[in-house]
Structure 1
Amino acid sequence: MSRVDRVAELIREEISRIIREDVSDPRIGFVSITQVEVTPDLENANVRVSILANEEKKQESMQGLYSATSFIRGKLGRLLD
């Protein structure tokens, strides 16, 4: 497993934990982090999610995730330093 793959897996696990334990937005329902793609320079990551809900609840969950983005990034940044 390459370093990029290990970092991607670590990011996936930590974001999942942060959402589960630290994000308290009631709009966020059952969210799974399905994939994280990290650039070779480890500067950027694209995170893919799956949301188990009807279309309306999916939209609400995505709005909640967008609102929590800065919080998640900050927490993740501190964990990865």
Structure 2
Amino acid sequence: MLRPERLEDQVHFLLSTLVQRELRDPELGFVTLTAVRLSPDRSVAKVYFTVLPANGGDQEAQDGFTRKALGRAAGFLRSQLATRLKMKRVPELRFFPDGTLEEGNHLETLLTEIEKERATRPVEPETEP
């Protein structure tokens, strides 16, 4: 039996390949699967994705469209995984938008603001005790 991390990587690779090459749903847009996390009993796979909004559109709306499109394709994706993986039971696929990119951008913005604030402050001389 494969270790959980290796199995997650294998499922991630297979799903990414299938989504890019086999799915033809226009609501998918430019989707990238970023991670797969299996439940301890391996019955559920949480699949995280990012998607570029079409024409600078609303990110949340695009995430919703993409999640629905991936949900519609879940049965097909599971059946394809079943033919390629050596598992007794192929996990149920659940799709979630990956918020780490937005979180990273927010942190970068905060750090930039802190740096600007530090640059505008006058330097106070240090006093020795």
Cα distance in structure 1, aligned partners of 2:40 and 2:70? 26
**CA 25–39 in structure 1, closer or farther in 2 if over 3 Å, else same:** same
Cα distance in structure 2, aligned partners of 1:66 and 1:4? 23
- Residue type of the alignment partner of 1:11: V
Is 1:50 equivalent to 2:50 in the alignment? Answer: yes
Alignment of 1:9-28 (within 5 A): 9-28=9-28
Using the size of structure 1 for normalisation, the TM-score is: 0.83
Structure 2: runs of 5+ lacking an equivalent: 87-129
Partner of 1:75: 80
Bigger CA radius of gyration: 2
Percent same amino acid at aligned positions? 26
With a CA cutoff of 8 Å and minimum separation of 6, indicate the structure with the bigger relative contact order: 1
Using the size of structure 2 for normalisation, the TM-score is: 0.55
Cα distance in structure 1, aligned partners of 2:67 and 2:47? 13
Q: Please, which of 55, 65, 74 is the counterpart of residue 60 of structure 1?
A: 65
Partner of 2:37: 37
- Residue type of the alignment partner of 2:15: I
Q: CA deviation at 1:44?
A: 2.7
- Residue type of the alignment partner of 1:10: Q
**CA 62–41 in structure 1, closer or farther in 2 if over 3 Å, else same:** closer
- Residue type of the alignment partner of 1:29: G
Q: Which stretch of structure 1 is more off in the superposition, 9-18 or 33-42?
A: 33-42
Aligned residues: 80
CA RMSD of aligned residues (A): 1.7
**CA 62–39 in structure 1, closer or farther in 2 if over 3 Å, else same:** closer
**CA 40–25 in structure 1, closer or farther in 2 if over 3 Å, else same:** same
